[in-house]
Homo-oligomer: A and B are copies of this chain.
Amino acid sequence: MFINSSYVGLKGHQATQLLFLFSLCLLSSINIIEATVQHLKWEIKYEYRSPDCFKKLSITVNGLSPGPTITATQGDTLIIQVTNSLITENTAIHWHGIRQRGTPWSDGTQGITQCPILPGETFTYQFVVDRAGTYMYHAHYEMQRSAGLHGLIRVLVPEGTVEPFSYDEERSIVVNDWWHKSAIEQSTGLLSLNFSWVGEPQSLLINGRGPFVLTMVPGKTYRLRIASLASLSALNLEIEGHDMIIVEADGHYVDPVIVKNLNIYSGETYSIIVKADQDPSRNYWIGLNVISRKPGTPTGTSILNYYPISPFKVPPTLPPTGPLWNDTLYRFNQTKLIKSHPDHIEPPPPTSNRVIILLNTQNKVNGYIRWCVNNVSLNLPTTPYLIAIKEKLRHVFSQKPALETYKYKNYDIHSVLKNPNATLGNSIHRLEFNSTVDLILQNANALSSNISETHPWHLHGHDFWVLGYGLGKFDPQIDPKNYNLVDPIQKNTVPLHPYGWTALRFQADNPGVWSFHCHLEAHFFIGMGVVLEEGVERLGKLPKSIMGCGQSKSLVRT
């Protein structure tokens, strides 16, 4: 009874493929056999769906929400023609975890790498999936992701490559939170002077459904690929009575860790190994619970069904309720367990050329509640940065560099700000090409006493090494001495824990303009992000298809 998240893989004409392969032959002689081109045609539209028995408009991809799982092999080229049928709304789709090396215009971040796709228009994303692993895609346009435009990407290892773990079968799981109010209603509330918060989600969904059934054959071993597309909630996934072995995180192999349950933050992906090794005469609960925020949402319950038992046979127990929602230390410690697999360590550069410290605060700008980084709330220009920088349109955004630190010496991260006023801004961080950059995220108290939220930060265009996590205020003199430079995991999304800090390092080796932002939909929507640029001068001519907004309107015959 297990229904895999639906998979659509529209292969192009064999003839075209052969021609393409033949062209590739002339250019390269490596891995010709595996490198294929996948053509996908997607239609994005609103459709009524009732994932938790409440009927509302969801945004679907070819009729599905979550959208079809993309399955490709490392080295494949994906050509995805996205037709926007949303009637009056624009869209843009981000391929989360795909680094877009050489194709920064396909990153799908509206306002940064492209103009939005207008209703009735078709935009073609083309990129290479250059590393095996578990990734995701989702709308990257205001709060549209939370309307259901999201899905999973599986990139398989090339034939003959052995992964550092084994399993019999694999399954994909997309988890997210779900509201009965529309994304437009939610975002209108956030932009109001009398800030109106939609509240906690009504439901937690697994593969877009309230009740979900995962069937396993007793004795077999499963790889579960899990992606969190939650808008707001940090989540904990527990399979009653079954240990989980974490083996992959954001496309990198993990030194295997056994956990009872998995904390997963929005924007993260994991592969876990689960063995169907329990009493095969019954079913088991799968429980999805909110952590880090005081839960106002029932446990998302699904069934682990032991074949051939009826999937409708209710387990004789109660569903897992997860760890205590406010047990920060529990989450902090699990985060610290995730390190690179010993056979797959790519050590970080021992030092960095630049350290950027990013203080996360909730503020007010002209009376409106906003999230800020170093007291500035990001406000995207109408002309995307990639176009503005490449075409030297300096009036499009502030040429003053973004602030790279805050006055940490006397800063009390545990108190509500005495002066919460901040400003909107669109300055960016311009990085020297190929330099090594440290990003230090520092959490603090929000606008209410004794509240510091967990912010999952996601970097576009790169993976970063996770050098360390701490609780309290980061000390630039002391804390770097304890960085893990030996076997840090590489990731693209990482939590910043309440009142804590997270230290990251990456190489600015991918020409383009890249967002680094809190992956909570409402937080990035009201300003919680920064923009990084490197090597744009190395890029060739930008595709015309990314243009049409701001300063990039008009007609040029080509």
Contact = CB atoms under 8 A, between A and B. Distances in A.
Interface of A: 45-48, 57, 85, 87-91, 115-116, 118-121, 141-144, 182-185, 187-188, 191-192, 196, 380, 382, 387, 391, 544-545, 547-556, 558
Contacts of A88: 89-91, 141-144, 183-184, 187
Contacts of A192: 47
A553 B552 contact: yes
A61 to B, nearest CB: 16
A382 B118 contact: yes
A558 B118 CA distance: 24
Chain copies in the assembled complex: 2
B47 A188 contact: yes
A544 B47 CA distance: 35
A491 to B, nearest CB: 29
Contact of A554 (B121, B143, B550, B556): B556
A48 B90 CA distance: 22
A87 B184 contact: yes
Most buried by B among A116, A118, A142, A556: A118
A380 B87 CA distance: 12
Contact of A555 (B120, B187, B551): B551
A100 B87 CA distance: 27
Contacts of A547: 548, 553-555
Given A121-B382, A187-B87, A548 B549 contact: yes
A498 to B, nearest CB: 29
A383 to B, nearest CB: 9
A548 B552 CA distance: 7
B188 A87 contact: yes
A46 B188 contact: yes
Contacts of A118: 90, 115-116, 118, 382, 549
Nearest to A91: B88
Contacts of A555: 387, 391, 547, 551-552, 554, 556
Contacts of A120: 380, 382
Given A90-B88, A142-B88, A46 B553 contact: no
Contacts of A551: 555
Contact of A121 (B87, B143, B550, B556): B550
B549 A554 contact: no
Contact of A90 (B119, B143, B387): B119
Contacts of A182: 182, 184
Nearest to A387: B555
Contact of A142 (B87, B185, B196): B87
A187 B558 CA distance: 36
29 contacts: A45-B191, A46-B188, A47-B192, A57-B184, A87-B184, A87-B187, A87-B188, A88-B89, A88-B90, A88-B91, A88-B143, A88-B183, A88-B187, A90-B119, A115-B548, A118-B118, A121-B549, A121-B550, A182-B184, A545-B553, A548-B552, A548-B553, A548-B554, A552-B553, A552-B554, A554-B555, A554-B558, A555-B556, A556-B556
A147 B151 CA distance: 31
A46 B400 CA distance: 33
A140 to B, nearest CB: 12
A196 B47 CA distance: 11
Contacts of A91: 88
Contacts of A57: 184-185, 188
A312 to B, nearest CB: 29
Contacts of A380: 120
Contacts of A119: 90, 116, 142
A455 to B, nearest CB: 22
Contacts of A553: 115, 544-545, 547-548, 552-553
Contacts of A188: 45-48, 57, 87
B544 A184 contact: no
A418 B214 CA distance: 50
Nearest to A382: B120
Nearest to A379: B120
A185 B91 CA distance: 18
Contacts of A85: 191
